[in-house]
Amino acid sequence: MIVGTRGSKLSLIQTDSVINMLKKIRPELDFQKVVIKTTGDLHKNKSLYSFSTKGIFEREINLAVIKGQLDFAVHSLKDLPLQEYDELSLAAITKRESPNDVLISNDGKPFSRLGRGSIIGTSSIRRMIQVKFHRPDLNVVKLRGNVETRIDKVGKEFDAIILAEAGIRRLGLQNKISEDLPLDVFTPVPGQGAVAVLARNDNKKILRLLSKIDNNESRNECIAERAIASKLGGGCQAPIGVIAKQTGNSLLIYSVVYSIDGRKKIACSVKGKPSDLTSVVERVSHELSRAGISDIIDEWQKAKINW
C-alpha cells in the first residue's frame, strides 16, 4: 500500500504510527511511504496568511490520492481545510492526543511570569491574538520552521515559543515543555492533536481497512469542532478557537473568538449529545451570533494580515 506524507520528522512519525496500527490488524500488508513536498514546505519563510490557496500543507498530497497515485494520505487534522474534497473521505481519525498548546521558555517560566517585553514566537495568528489579549505587555513575533528549529531559537531569538503539545510529545521532546497552557486561555484550532487519514471515496477496500483504526470519540470531537468553525465562517483569515470533549454520552464544546485588536473576546460553552452534533453546532453558532461574533469575523476577513 502506498502512503503519502510530508517529509518532516513529525509527519513521518505520525505516518509510521498509522502504519503500525494497520500492521497489527493486517500483518501481511506491506507499506511504502511516499514523501511529497507541499506549497508550505517549499516556501518556509513566507507568511502563512499570504498564500492565495488553502491547504498549503496538504493539497499536493491529497491531489495524488485523488489521481490514484497514493492509496491514502496521513495528515495533522488541524492542517486540513474546513472545506473537504468531494473525491476524498476522512477515513480515519486516530485517538487524539492532547489538544493543548504548550509554552517553551528560556528559563522554564510559565506564561503568567514572563517578564514584560518578553519576545514570544509563534506561526499561528490565533496564538498571537490570544497572547495579545491575555498579556498585552508581551511582544509576539512571527516564527516559521519545523518544531526542532523553533525550539532551537528559544534563548537566542525568543524568550519563549508556543507550540502544540501533541507534536512535542510525538517527537519525544516533552522535557522541553515549561507549561501546559489551559484550554480556556489558549483554545486550539479544530482538530489539534489528532491525526487524520484520507482516502478516495470509491476505494471501498481501503476505507473498510482504515475504519478499523478510527476512534469514535476523537471523531465526534473533531467533526464538531470543524463544523463549528465552518459554520461561523472561520479558517485562516478568522481564527476561531474551539475545543470539544466527549465524556460518555455527553459532548461539551467551548468556542471563542477575539477581535483583531486583541481587546474583545466572545465565547460560549454548550453541552449536548454526540448523537446530535447538528443541534449542538447550531446552538454554539446561535449563542456566538447573539453575542456579535459576525462583526468580529467580518473584521478579520477584511483585514490584510501579514503573519
**Residues catalogued as catalytic:** 79
How would you class 35 by CB atoms within 10 Å of its CB: exposed for 0-12, middle for 13-18, buried for 19 or more? middle
Alpha-carbon dihedral angle through residues 155, 121, 193, 237, given to the nearest 10 degrees = -170
From CA 149, how far away is CA 266, in angstroms rounded? 34
From CA 235, how far away is CA 21, in angstroms rounded? 31
From CA 61, how far away is CA 38, in angstroms rounded? 7
Residue with cell string 500492521: 23
Backbone angles phi, psi at 221, to 5 degrees: -60, -50
Strand, helix or coil for residue 169: helix
N-to-C CA span, the chain = 38
How would you class 275 by CB atoms within 10 Å of its CB: exposed for 0-12, middle for 13-18, buried for 19 or more? exposed
Yes or no: say if 224 and 254 are a contact pair by the CB < 8 Å rule. no
